[in-house]
Amino acid sequence: MPTYTRNADKSVAAVIDVAGTQRFVGPGESVGTYEILGDGWTLTDPGPYWNPALAVHDDIAGPRTIELDSDTWRVEVWNNSPAVVTLFLNSAENTPGIRVEAYGVRTVEVRKRVSALIMSFSAAVSAGQVVLTEWRK
């Protein structure tokens, strides 16, 4: 996480740290935060950088089960193929499936409640034609 050091002479500042907790930081103290801090702060370590994308799966080439990150809030499926993609949440028995039409895009809010996404296809697809991105909240 980016780390900042407070360089203001006397003032204490409230900052939300990487755990989401409000901290009061005095002169000379450091804090890890994903916020971008301006005047009165020195960036002492820029990484790792915050990124809303948790994972990108672009090697999908047929029926596939993708284990989702435990922090996944939503998934986005880009279907650049003539096939219809059907998504099942946690189990292929969880019907009806969610359709992604040919050459379509679908976003599904999984809200950290889905650990696996099962994908089936109405026709063959090649790697790179269907891309799934996992997003954090």
Domains, the chain, ordered by start: 3-45 (no CATH), 53-135 (2.60.120)
> How far apart are the C-alpha atoms of 128 and 98, rounded to whole Å?
20
End-to-end CA distance of the chain: 17
pTM: 0.75
Q: Helix or strand or coil: residue 35?
A: coil
Give the Cα separation of 98 and 95 in Å (integer): 8
pLDDT in tens, 21-49: 999 999 999 999 988 898 899 999 998 78
Q: Is 71 exposed, middle or buried (0-12, 13-18, 19+ CB in 10 A)?
A: exposed
Would you say residue 20 has pLDDT above 90? no
One-letter amino acid of 100: V
